[in-house]
Amino acid sequence: MTRDVLIKILDLVRWAPSGDNTQPWQFEIVADDHIAVHGFDTREHVLYDFDGHPSQMAHGALIETLRIAASGFQLASEWHVRSGSPDNAPVYDVLLRSAPDLLADPLLPYIEKRVVQRRPMRMTPLTSEQRNSLSLATGGNYSVQFFEKTSDRIKVARLLWDNAYIRLTCPEAFLVHREIIEWGARFSHDRLPEEAIGVDPMTAKLMKWVMQSWGRVEFFNRYLMGTVAPRIQLDFVPAIACAGHLLLKPRKPLNSLHDYVEAGMAMQRLWLTATSLGLHLQPEMTPVIFRWYAKAGREISAHSKINKKVELMASRFERLVEASSDQSFAFFCRIGQSVPPKSRSLRKSLSQLLVSK
Ligand X SMILES: Cc1cc2nc3c(=O)[nH]c(=O)nc-3n(C[C@H](O)[C@H](O)[C@H](O)COP(=O)(O)O)c2cc1C
Judged by the rule CB under 6 A, the positions of this chain that interact with ligand X are: 17-21, 54, 57-58, 61, 115-116, 118, 192, 282-286, 344-345
Least separation in angstroms between CB 33 and ligand X: 28
The residue among 58, 252, 23, 14 whose CA lies nearest residue 139 is 252
Cβ 67 to ligand X shortest distance, Å: 17
Residue nearest to ligand X (CB): 17
Q: 25 or 79, CB closer to ligand X? A: 25
- 144 DSSP β-pair partners: 248
Q: How far is the CB of 156 from ligand X (least distance, A)?
A: 13
Nearest Cα to Cα of residue 249 among 237, 257, 259, 239: 259
In DSSP terms, which residues pair with 245 in a beta bridge?
Answer: 147, 334
Nearer to ligand X, 96 or 231 (CB): 231
First-residue to last-residue Cα distance in the chain: 21
Distance CA 128, CA 276 (A): 15
Give the span between the Cα atoms of 224 and 252, in whole angstroms: 45
Question: Closest CB to ligand X among 20 and 64?
Answer: 20
Min dist. Cβ of residue 296 to ligand X (A): 17
Angle at 266 between CA 321 and CA 241, to 5 degrees: 50
Whichever of 37 and 285 has its CB closer to ligand X, that residue is 285
Between 61 and 310, whose beta carbon lies closer to ligand X?
61
In the complex, minimum distance from the CB of residue 40 to ligand X, in angstroms, rounded to a whole number = 14
Instruction: Quote the CA–CA distance of 211 and 242 in Å, as a whole number.
Output: 29
Return d(Cα 245, Cα 159) in angstroms, integer.
12
The residue (of 17 and 72) whose beta carbon lies closer to ligand X is: 17
Closest distance to ligand X from the beta carbon of 341 (Å): 8
- The helix (run of H) or strand (run of E) holding residue 132 is helix 128-137
Q: How many of the other CB atoms lie within 10 Å of CB of 36?
A: 19
